[in-house]
């Protein structure tokens, strides 16, 4: 006799996974009460489940606000899982060399749904640097990595933006300006530069990585404070290095430029 879908699932474990997924999104309020309401659980069951997740280090609670957020063990687990992926194993040596050469943080990013996921990082040794973005996601039109990937992914995105339909569906207030920005990225060799999109006083420079079929599969992104990533340094040092690194990574993914 065939079993119904979910016949062998453990409901409490399933709820735990749903809560972890819920907490991956930036939330101003994720209290015991709001989580109980969200997942239609009793206060007692919610308390016991959150206590278990906190004890494991997958979730932690801010004592001052009572809000829950992902714990350090969640990020550690995510990095271990990501470390086995093909993208990480191929791209990591490339971003490590970039980080060593320029002493700035370098990331491998990918598109995940409507967001950019900062998948892997090679850190720098600077005393002043931005907070790590590994494991974090941002809407793709808010940062250099997302813009360069969408700009080179397909010209259709730009046409949709011009038609305003795509922009309205994504809550983009100035789709004409964004369309022009993506066109410029396509015409300038596939380099995107962003100021402030990932934090005040921070600069990101990104170039796309392609696979054997010529599809954009990610972007290499250098990220740091604006007082170090000045325009002259970006143009003379960083952009040439990023383009060279992206070409190497793409080659390792089987990409052969025409």
The structural domains of the chain, with segments of one domain joined by +, span 11-74, 85-252
**What is the mean pLDDT of the segment spanning 83-91?**
72
Local confidence band at 165 (pLDDT 50, 70, 90 cut-offs):
low
- Locate 4 and state its tokens: 């119904």
**What is the mean pLDDT of the segment spanning 134-149?**
92
Instruction: Inform me whether the pLDDT recorded for 138 exceeds 90.
Output: yes
What pLDDT does residue 72 have? 74
What share of the chain has pLDDT > 90, as a percent?
Answer: 47
Local confidence band at 225 (pLDDT 50, 70, 90 cut-offs):
very high
Which of 111, 113, 70 lies closest to 87 in space, CA to CA?
111
What pLDDT does residue 188 have? 86
- When the pLDDT of each residue in the chain is averaged and rounded to a whole number, the result is 85
CA 244 to the chain's CA centroid? 22
Instruction: Inform me whether the pLDDT recorded for 59 exceeds 60.
Output: yes
**What is the mean pLDDT of the segment spanning 73-87?**
62
pTM of the model: 0.65
Local confidence band at 209 (pLDDT 50, 70, 90 cut-offs):
very high
Same CATH topology for 11-74 and 85-252?
no
Interatomic CA distance for residues 78 and 119, integer angstroms: 9
Interatomic CA distance for residues 24 and 117, integer angstroms: 11
Instruction: Inform me whether the pLDDT recorded for 119 exceeds 70.
Output: yes
- Asked whether 57 and 72 are in contact (CB, 8 A), the reply is yes
- Asked whether 133 and 115 are in contact (CB, 8 A), the reply is no
Burial class, 251, CB count within 10 angstroms (exposed 0-12 / middle 13-18 / buried 19+): middle
- Asked whether 228 and 104 are in contact (CB, 8 A), the reply is yes
CB atoms within 10 A of CB 110: 21
How many CA atoms within 13 Å lie on the side-chain side of 112? 11
What pLDDT does residue 2 have? 42
Instruction: Inform me whether the pLDDT recorded for 235 exceeds 90.
Output: yes
Topology at the third CATH level for domain 11-74: Arc Repressor Mutant, subunit A (1.10.10)
What share of the chain has pLDDT > 70, as a percent?
Answer: 85
Architecture of domain 85-252: 2-Layer Sandwich (3.30)
**Interaxial angle between packed helices 72-83 and 86-102, expressed in degrees from 0 to 180 and rounded to the nearest 10:** 110
């Amino acid at each position: 006799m065939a079993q119904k879908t979910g016949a062998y699932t453990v409901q409490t474990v399933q709820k735990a996974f749903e809560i972890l997924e819920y907490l991956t999104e930036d939330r101003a309020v994720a209290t015991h009460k709001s989580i109980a309401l969200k997942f239609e659980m009793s206060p007692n069951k919610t308390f016991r489940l959150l206590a278990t997740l906190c004890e494991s280090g997958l979730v932690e609670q801010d004592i001052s606000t009572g809000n829950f957020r992902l714990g350090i063990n969640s990020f550690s687990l995510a990095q271990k899982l990501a470390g086995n992926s093909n993208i990480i194993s191929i791209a990591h040596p490339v971003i490590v060399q970039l980080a060593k050469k320029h002493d700035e943080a370098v990331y491998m990013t990918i598109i995940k749904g409507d967001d950019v996921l900062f998948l892997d990082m090679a850190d720098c040794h600077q005393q002043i640097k931005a907070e790590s973005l590994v494991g974090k996601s941002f809407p793709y039109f808010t940062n250099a990595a997302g813009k360069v990937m969408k700009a080179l992914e397909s010209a259709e995105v730009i046409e949709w933006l011009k038609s305003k339909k795509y922009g309205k569906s994504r809550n983009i207030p100035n789709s004409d300006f964004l369309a022009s920005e993506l066109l410029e990225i396509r015409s300038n060799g596939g380099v995107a530069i962003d100021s402030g999109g990932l934090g005040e006083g921070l600069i990101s420079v990104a170039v796309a990585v392609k696979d054997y079929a010529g599809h954009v599969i990610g972007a290499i992104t250098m990220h740091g404070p604006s007082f170090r990533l000045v325009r002259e340094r970006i143009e003379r040092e960083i952009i040439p290095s990023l383009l060279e690194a992206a070409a190497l990574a793409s080659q390792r993914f089987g990409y052969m430029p025409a």
